Chains A and B, each alone.
Chain A
Amino acid sequence: MQFTRIAKALPASLAALGAALIAFLLLGGEGARAGSLAKRVAGTDMAGKTREQVAVAIEKASTLTVCDGVPAAVEGAWPCFRGAKLDGIGTERAPLAREWGPEGPPVLWTIDVGEGYAGAAVLNGRVYLIDYDREAQADVVRCLSLADGRDIWRFSYPVPVKRNHGMSRTVPAVTPAYVVTLGPKCHVVCLNAETGAFVWAIDLVRAWKAKVPQWYAGQCPLIDRDRVILAPGGDALLIAVELATGKVLWQSPNPGRWQMTHATPMPMELRGTRMYVYPGSGGVAGIAAEDGALLWQTDAWKISIATVPSPVIAGGGRVFLTGGYNAGAMMLKIDAQDGAFAARTLYTLDPKVFASIQQTPILYQERLFAVKYDGQLACADLDGRVLWTSGSGNTFGLGPYALAQGLLYVVNDKGRLTLVDAGAGEYRRLAEFEVLQGHDAWGPLAIAGGRLIMRDFTRMVCLDIRDRAARAAQGGVQ
C-alpha cells in the first residue's frame, strides 16, 4: 500500500523539487568568486609608498631606549582611548574615594611631557603614552611605570612637527603583547608592549593618501580583537590591519573621499552585525567589521572644520554624535532590514542645549554626560532632554571627564579635578582639587588600578583615587 502511494506521490513531489531547483537556478547568486570581486579604486596597491617602506624607514630611523623604570604590580587596565569598554568608564574594583581632604588625592608622580593632549593608556602596571620630543623632532612612544612614572622604555622616530596647539594628542591602544600608537603626522607604529621592540608601522598619509587633520591627528588607534582599526580617509575610509603583522586585512571604500577626523571609530553590534561607526569629514558611515564593506552612510552629520568627539553608541542602533563649531548634537538610528542598513536622524540638538566640543560624552545609566560649549556639565537623557546642568558657576572649559564607580571625574582647562556624583539626579559635586595649574589640560583621562592619570599641556600626573580603606588594604605608594 505504502509503496503504491509512494509511486503515486512521486510525480508531484518531483515537480515541487524541480520548481525549487529551477528557482535556485534562476535566482541564485554570483557564485564563489563574487567574494573576490571588489570595486577597483585607486590605491589598492598601497602605492605611493607604504607600510613596508615606512616600516623600514621608521624602523631604521628609530631609537629604542631602555630605561630604569619597572612595571608596577598593579592590576587594572585602561588599555585605550575611553578605556577597556570604550565608554570612558573605568572598571575599578577597589572602592574609590568619594571625597578628598583639602590635600586632595595623593599625587603619586608627576612627569614632564611634550606639548599636547595625548592621554595615557594603562595595562599591566605600565602606562603608555605617545609623546613628542621637540628637541629631537621625534615622536616618542613612552612606556612608564604606573608606580612612579619612570620610563621603562622609549621608542622614538623622527617626525618634524611644528607647534600648532601642541603636537601629540592621541591615546595608544595596548594589548598584553602589542602597543599601537598614532602619531601627530599619522604614523601608526606597533611595538612590542613589553620591550618596545618595533613590530610594524604604517604612514597613513603615504600609504592611504590620508590628509593630516588641522592641528594634527587626534584619532586613536582602535584594537578590536586581533586587528587594528584605523580610519585614514583618503584611499580608504577605514582599514583593518592585522595586529601581529601589520598586514592590511581589508580596506573599506571611500567613495566620497572623506578625510580623516579627530574622532575614533567606535564598534557597534546591530542585529548580529558588527560594525564600526566613524564620522568622517563628509558624514558618518558604518563599516562592516568582517570585510570593510560600507554598510551605511549618511551625510546628515558633518562638521566642516573639525569633528573631534567620537560617536557614542547608545544601544538599540542609536548613535549619539556631537561636536563643536555650532554643530550641536544628533541622535542617529540605524535601521537594519534584510541585511541592509540605513541611518535616519532621530533628533538634533541645538549646541546651546546639549553638545560637546572636544570630549566624547559619557553614557552612564541611560544618561549622557557632557561639558557644553559654555563649560557647564550637563546631563541629558537619550531622547535629548537635558536633565540638569552644573550651572554657570561650575564650568570646566574643554577639559576631559571620565567615570568610575558612579563618580564622574571632570577636569577643567587648568587642571582642576572635580568629583561629581553621576548617579544623582542633579549636579552634585563631591570634591574638588587643583591638581595642576597649567593650561589646556585637555588630554583624556585614564582610570586604572585605583589611579587616575591626567595631564595639562606639559605635565602628566598620576593620582591615587582609592578611598583610604582600600589604599590601606592594598598597599600605598610603592
Chain B
Amino acid sequence: MSDHETTPIPRRGFMRAAARAACALGIGGGAAYLVAPRTPGERVWQIDPEKCIACGNCATYCVLRESAVKCVHSFAMCGYCELCTGFFNPSPNDLTTAAENVLCPTGAIVRRFVEDPYFEYTIDQNLCIGCGKCVKGCKMFGNGSLYLQVIHDRCLNCNQCSIAAACPSEAWVRVPAARPHLWKKVT
C-alpha cells in the first residue's frame, strides 16, 4: 500500500503484479496438478501383515505415548488351538491361563474355552500395547491369525509416521481411507 503511494513507478508496480500473478498461478496450478490426477489417494497408514516381522518398534516409536498399533485377531484364520503359541510362552509350565505360562506382558490376550478342543482368543485392546510378541509366536507355530494393525481411532495419521520411518521391514504402507485395514481373513 505504502509502496503504491510512496513509489509511484507504474512499471515496477506492473512487474510486481505480473510476478505475483505468475507466482499465484504457479502455486495454485502446481498444487492442483499434483492433486488432480491421483485422487482418490492412499491416505492412512497401515501395516502390511505379510511383511511385518513384529519387531516391536511399533510399540515404542509411535509419537503417542501408547502406540496406535495394537494386535488384532483374525478369528476366521485362527486354529482355536489349545496350545496357542501366541498365548503361551515358548515352553509353558502348563497349558493354563496362569501368569507363569502366558506370553502377553500386559495380559491383553483373553483365552476362553469354546468346546473340546477349541479355545477362543480375544485381544483386550485396552491393555494391548502392540509389542507384537504374540504375533511372533503365532506366526512361528501357528496360522498367523494374530497380527498388528494401526488402530485408526488412535492414529493421528502424521505426515511422516515415526513408526514407518523406523520399520525395519518396510511393512508400513499408506492405504485408502475407505479401506483402512489390511485384514487377514478368509475370503
Contacts and interface: CB of A to CB of B under 8 A. Distances in A.
Given A47-B119, A49-B113, A52-B115, A42 B126 contact: no
B124 interface: yes
A33 B98 contact: no
Contacts, number: 53
Interface in A42-85: 42-50, 52-53, 56
A48 B113 contact: yes
Contacts of A424: none
A36 interface: yes
A49 B119 CA distance: 10
B127 interface: yes
B15 interface: no
Q: Which of A40, A46, A50, A56 has the most CB of B within 10 A?
A: A40
Contact of A40 (B94, B102, B116): B102
Contacts of B111: 44-45, 47
Contact of B97 (A41, A49, A50): A41
A134 to B, nearest CB: 29
Given A33-B126, A36-B127, A42 B96 contact: yes
B165 interface: no
B123 to A, nearest CB: 12
How many chain A residues sit at the interface, stated as a range, is: 10 to 19
Nearest to B114: A52
B111 to A, nearest CB: 4
Contacts of A225: none
Given A40-B107, A43-B96, A53 B115 contact: yes
Nearest to A51: B113
Given A45-B112, A45-B113, A46-B113, A37 B97 contact: no
B98 A46 contact: no
A56 B98 CA distance: 27
A39 interface: yes
Contacts of A37: 107, 127
Contacts of B102: 40
B177 interface: no
Interface in B96-122: 96-99, 102, 107, 110-116, 119
A49 B127 CA distance: 27
Given A33-B126, A33-B127, A36-B127, A42 B113 contact: no
Contacts of A44: 97, 111
Chain B facing A: main interface SS: loop
A315 B162 CA distance: 62
B107 A47 contact: no
Contacts of A41: 97-99
B98 A42 contact: yes
B75 to A, nearest CB: 16
Given A37-B107, A40-B98, A41-B97, A50 B126 contact: no
Contacts of B98: 40-42
Interface in B80-103: 82, 94-99, 102
Interface string A108-135: 0000000000000000000000000000
Given A41-B97, A42-B96, A43-B97, A49 B126 contact: no
Given A44-B111, A53-B115, 18 more contacts: A33-B126, A37-B107, A39-B99, A40-B99, A40-B107, A41-B98, A42-B96, A42-B97, A42-B98, A43-B96, A43-B97, A47-B111, A47-B119, A48-B113, A49-B113, A49-B115, A53-B116, A56-B115
Interface of B: 82, 94-99, 102, 107, 110-116, 119, 124, 126-127
27 contacts: A33-B126, A33-B127, A37-B107, A40-B98, A40-B99, A40-B107, A41-B97, A41-B99, A42-B94, A42-B96, A42-B97, A43-B96, A43-B97, A44-B97, A45-B96, A45-B112, A46-B112, A47-B82, A47-B111, A47-B113, A49-B113, A50-B113, A52-B114, A52-B115, A53-B113, A53-B115, A56-B115
